[in-house]
A = this chain, B = another copy of it.
């Protein structure tokens, strides 16, 4: 018991902190969407820029995607099929998966969320069905996303599961040397910043046959040719020892999640996912609004528009890095962490940013270790230079005052 989770302990530790955050007006903000990452709080009428939006390319506001989503509902005449997809599926589901599969040159199965994709893929991997019948020992990176970690006990009922240090290549290599199949479970781009050492991992894969399962939720669209994400960008096409799960809701601008389950047209991998992939077989599909959005977003990913948006994002990241020094400045990722340390100080800073018209995410335990609190900032292609400059100026003002008063 409590080998992997301890919810009661988590409640004891972080409940008070959420109380503080809520009382500070930084939680449960109900807002109208003003588009392009801008919101207006319903209760106060206060407008703000979302500085913590994972729509890195701004595709959540793309008129073409929205129109495609609405059209898909009216043209299909139903929000979803009303039977398991392994029995009868709408043509729009096949069209969306085919479009996505052609984009990423891999066999793709979609699910209602990235978490559902994890629930489909991880137990299948743990069972040995993807490693020639022998269950691999599963090594989770200690910073792997919650949706991966939730499945640890489920995987531990199929194989040996352990957790290793963040990006700990030597622990991984030791496990590989011990023999038998080994699989590493990690994010490609971490939601609190930083990335997996993908090239080093591929080296271990080549050398020892290491299986890799990556959560590409923050990498897809944002990075890589046609937005295929850093993992596929590093690979020469997906291989039989790499599995990718991702969100289609974040950078991608649609809804749901996906598993890149194997090589394009690998019928056996597809069968394993659609017959034995847990929620794939018995839970609902992405609704047709989401499927219409996926098809349109794939079109955008194939066009020059994507490249332009990726460039705009990189320009904004560079501008931010020039004005706001952080530990990961210059890494080309859109996620920055402004380190504060003290949890109360972090909340006060977020509050003052909100008053200035910027919503920032105060991040703290259990998301990260205690005493390491800070603001998580996410840069978008559709931020203006003026937004970033005003944000940086306010941070500088607060820090000057804070230093004088002995805070921040």
Residues of A participating in the B interface, judged by any CB pair closer than 8 Å: 1-8, 10-11, 14-15, 18, 26-33, 35, 37, 39, 42, 50, 52-55, 60-61, 65-67, 69-71, 73-74, 76-84, 86-91, 93-94, 112-116, 119, 123-124, 126-129, 133, 135, 145-147, 150, 153-154, 156-159, 247, 249-250, 253-257, 271-272, 274-276, 278-279, 281-284, 287, 289-290, 293, 359, 361
Report which of B14, B89, B279 forms a contact with A113, defined as CB distance below 8 A.
B279
Asked whether A114 and B284 contact (CB < 8 A) given A7-B276, A94-B30, A158-B1, the answer is yes
- A124 smallest CB distance to B (angstroms): 6
Residue on B nearest A39 in the bound complex, by CB: B88
Contact residues in B for A284 (Cβ distance below 8 Å): 113-114, 247, 249, 255-257
- How would you classify the secondary structure of chain A's contact residues: helix, strand, loop or mixed? mixed
Asked whether A271 and B18 contact (CB < 8 A) given A87-B29, A284-B247, the answer is yes
Q: How many copies does the complex hold?
A: 2
In the bound assembly, the distance between CA atoms of A253 and B55 in angstroms comes to: 29
Contact residues in B for A74 (Cβ distance below 8 Å): 66-67, 70
Question: Is the pair A53, B82 in contact by a Cβ cutoff of 8 Å?
Answer: yes
In the bound assembly, the distance between CA atoms of A132 and B247 in angstroms comes to: 36
Contact residues in B for A52 (Cβ distance below 8 Å): 83, 87
20 contacts between A and B (CB under 8 A): A1-B157, A8-B133, A14-B275, A18-B275, A27-B86, A28-B87, A32-B90, A33-B78, A35-B78, A54-B82, A54-B83, A60-B80, A69-B79, A79-B253, A112-B112, A115-B116, A115-B119, A115-B283, A150-B154, A150-B279
